Structure 1
């Protein structure tokens, strides 16, 4: 993965996802080893969230592989106060979307593939065209 020349386009895509899906409170993009790439979050916890999401995605990937289910596409954590949805962006990057109790999971599932595709192209740079 080539680092983007500016994270502005990545952040714009994260903001667009937030506008399309009710209940999204934060979203980040991180590398599979937990380094923050871009964030649409006012929380001061973005770097910690990036590390935790990478660990969660790794666990989901290993579980899917162990069961012979193929590559992990997404993983959902449902908690008393909301949700965290992890989605793979290629092999080395992930998107984490945090939502409140009212997160429209069906809407997120509709919008997620397109967002992941756009983010993957932005992360790959101009050569991915």
Structure 2
């Protein structure tokens, strides 16, 4: 699907888990937390409710941020081949499962 890296971090930017070969994982976690915080405040300010996702489109690909409840977030980095439509279909279910895992409520 074009995904090159993914991380889970706390809402305040501490790295929890990573599927990234980058040495900059901690920096990415902190930047993603800042991005989610900005997106959340913006959505609430304009009356749109809670943030579901935020997408950065860059010359070489994409970064997608998604909140996992109130205490964590998921960041996905993708190359130019990232299928955003497919990712958007799969993201809500993925975030739900991750939230349950982080809360310790996942089925055995």
Write the mapping of 1:1-129 to structure 2, written as runs, cut at 5 A: 22-126=1-105
> Structure 2: which 5+ runs fail to align?
none
RMSD: 1.0
The higher relative CO (CA closer than 8 Å, separation ≥ 6) is in 1
Number of residue-to-residue matches in the alignment? 107
Structure number with the higher strand fraction is: 2
Segments of 4+ moved more than 6 angstroms: none
User: The residue matched to 1:34 in structure 2 has which SS?
Assistant: coil
Distance of 1:26 and 1:54 partners within structure 2: 16
User: The residue matched to 1:29 in structure 2 has which SS?
Assistant: strand
> Structure 1: which 5+ runs fail to align?
1-21
The alpha-carbon deviation at position 114 of structure 1 amounts to 1.1
The alpha-carbon deviation at position 58 of structure 1 amounts to 0.5
Structure number with the higher helix fraction is: 1
TM-score by length of 2: 0.96
TM-score by length of 1: 0.80
